[in-house]
Structure 1
């Protein structure tokens, strides 16, 4: 600052020296004094003008430093506020995403657990086991129906065997009637012969009469037996016919039931296989989604790193006004020291906690080539 004040008198001193040199050279004439006076006036004017310019430059420098300080205070505060608000919003959004993804993972785990229990249950609770048990029971029912039809077929054969017995009984009833008729004929002949014998054949006539009565009774009994056997035979024939029709109906019903059951079992097997396949596919897809969501949760941890980086940058930006104030206090003399970023960058680097911050700092924060150590105002 002292050298700046002395430089104000350089033009006046030069003018005085020139005037003193010109007056002797002009032989102390009036024109020499005139020239010396003009030079002296010009030197004094130049000194006064230079002093004014220096005062104006000093005021301009002070205004510049003050405006730069205000710029740093205003801009750095706004920058830091925006970075802080953005970091808080990002943290809140990431935390909400993590909570939702965690809920999705928990629900997927529950779904996978329920699907596994439904598919792999070993006590008849699984769909495959239920289908297998149902198939066994239906097959057993078909076998029972087939056995019942076979039993009725055997019973029908026995009933048809009764028809042969009734035919034999019918023949036996006919034999009885034939024997009764022949006996009656013999009794009639005996009565005729007894009548011819007269008094001697009276006893034989009584016997012949009794025999004829017995033959008549035998004929009636044979006729009655034949009627009963005929009724029984008709009943047995009707029973055989009804049993045959019933057996054929049951055979058709058993056959239709078997076809229906087989179709139902085939449909159920298709549905069961589709459900099992869908369950397995769902389990695989759910496991895949669960893995992807878990990976996304891991990737969302970038928020911690970004938050640390933004926090360090925010703190360094907040330090800018103090650094500008310190630089303003350092302005002295004829020169103004240039702004150096190394101090702020060193403070920023000292806050690093991650290797990627240090690597980025080395790549992106290389010092710019310096044009001069300081600025000089004239």
Structure 2
């Protein structure tokens, strides 16, 4: 069945109304002019008029029904489109809320990881500072004024070295004196050997004279001549031995003299070096004492500074506990948003009862006083505000 447009139905309705009016006018004129009309024609006209009126009424009702159906169909289509838009908006809002939840969880995780890393680094820094403080205090003890301090121990060691050097110089002096004694003894032996050589020469002369006298005596002096010859030979041997001894003793004397001279020069240099070394060592010891004092003061200053830094690090580690509070708050926010998304998707709308139940659930999940106070100040729920002070507050 083809449904006519509203404008055409209105035109047809107006047309039939006009026809009925004209027919009524014609009938009235006919009666007024006394035109003879039979009963049957009149009846036909009346029946036709009645049928026309009924037809027009049915047309009017049909047009009204068609108009109502079209209006309802249009309204249903609009309602369906509106529902689809609302459902799409609901899904969009839910998706946005889920995105916000994911972002909050991401921020929470990032904050926890960052603060945990910083806390670990500060803990390691605190341990390093503790080690530094202990080392500094140990250095202070080593460079202190007690008998076991480093400077005093070094001074004692250097004094022992100086004493050893002086003992070595004394030993060298004894060697020089011994060489001089050997040289003096060698000279005396040389003189005695020369005396022996002189005696040997005189014996040789005596043996020659004895040989001459034995020759003059003839046969009687032959034995004496042999003895004289033998004495001369021994005298010559003695003279040669004395000459050799004198030569060796001269070489020994010269060597000892050279050695003694070198030892004397070396001893003089050693004494000079010893004096200079002692002066330098004393100077170094004084400088070491000064450096030790300065180092002790520096170590004390380092100890104080390290202690202050350690105290600041401890305060920083304590302050980093705020992340736990922030993490708890973010966790509560995420749970509240998740419950809101679930309620929105389940109910399709946010009724007062659902919102009230959600607010109460969020309020019961809080663990910190400021969370509840903020919730109470937002919702203006005085009954909950009276309950705040009786709950457990962390940190």
With the length of structure 2 as denominator, give the TM-score of the two structures: 0.47
Superposition TM-score, scaled by structure 1 size? 0.49
